[in-house]
Amino acid sequence: MSVYGKRRQMWGIIFVLPQFIGLILFSFIPIVSAFTISFFQWDAMSPMIFNGIGNYVSQFTNPHFQRALRNTIMYLIYFLPAAIIMPLLIAAALRNIRGKLFYRILYFMPVVASSVSVGVIWTWLLNSDFGLINQMLAGIGIQGPRWLTDTSWVLPSIAMVSVWWGLGYNLVIFLAGLQNVPATYYEAARIDGANNVKMFWHVTLPMISPTILFVTIMTIIASFQVFDQAMVMTGGGPAMASYTFVYHIYTTAFLRFQMGGASASAMVLLVIILATTLFQMLISRKWVNYDQ
């Protein structure tokens, strides 16, 4: 290797090293530590007692664990379609209009807001007695639901807030994907007599399928990790209707001081996310198009 090549390699290592160190310190080591703790009984103060797979057995048979898993899956069902379809349609509408940068900033502004502030504001907006949304509905003769105090409405309400909060993130990614679609494909489709709907279905969607795959994977991971909204807006209620998986890990660790059980639940969540991601990558071979 030439001196120039060695120098480039050295600078490459220097630039990558901080990120690699951060990955080891804040990701790899905590995962290994949580995996180790999951085999012990530990309250963070007393000596650790080896428990084998006892923590995993107790978690799988724990009604709170089961409820949290069901709630998280239901949240995913409510959240995923809207979190993908809405930003995709908005991005397609913004693709060729003037002032695209302004709209991009406008939609992205909620993303940079803190989860606590978003939760507090929407808790007030969705208040069933004096919230702004129910007051607006009452103005047109509609009695608004009890968004955060009705067990059948609380998860859809939290999902709605999450869609609003993260809309700009997926929107920016979809806009970037749309800008990489060659204009010649649309010109050829117009010559063949395709209208806007057919071009979107047969040209746009196949060409941005890698972007759709990425957004889908990231959105599903975010769905399994939902915590802030449930913590701030409902505290897991009413009647544990918004008791999510990460909220269960939090309460098990820091309210019940069962660090082994919390670590076991965290490992289960890690396996679920990995399995879901790998499954998506496998089936993506049938519908994702990488040729442009």
* 229: confidence class by pLDDT, cuts 50, 70, 90: very high
Q: Which residues contact 225 (CB under 8 A, 6 or more apart)?
A: 246, 269
Q: Is residue 179 classed as helix, strand or coil in its secondary structure?
A: helix
pLDDT number for residue 226: 95
Please compute the mean of the pLDDT values over residues 127-141 and round it to a whole number. 92
Cα-only R_g, the chain: 23
Phi and psi torsions of 182, nearest 5°: -60, 135
What integer is the mean pLDDT of 55-72?
96
Determine contact, residues 221/215, Cβ cutoff 8 Å.
no
Q: How high is the mean pLDDT of the chain?
A: 92
Arithmetic mean of pLDDT, 139-148? 93
- Is residue 243 very low, low, confident or very high in pLDDT (cuts 50, 70, 90)? very high
Query: Quick check: 1 pLDDT over 90?
Result: no
- pLDDT tier, 192 (very low <50, low <70, confident <90, very high otherwise): confident
Quickly state the pLDDT bin for 77 (edges 50, 70, 90).
very high
Domain map (residue ranges) of the chain:
1-29, 38-286
pLDDT at res. 167: 94
DSSP calls for 99-168:
THHHHHHHHHHHHHS-HHHHHHHHHHHT-TTT-HHHHHHHHTT-----TTTSTTTHHHHHHHHHHHHHHH
The answer on pLDDT for 276 being more than 80 is yes
Domain at 38-286: CATH architecture: Orthogonal Bundle (1.10)
Residue 291 has pLDDT above 80, yes or no: no
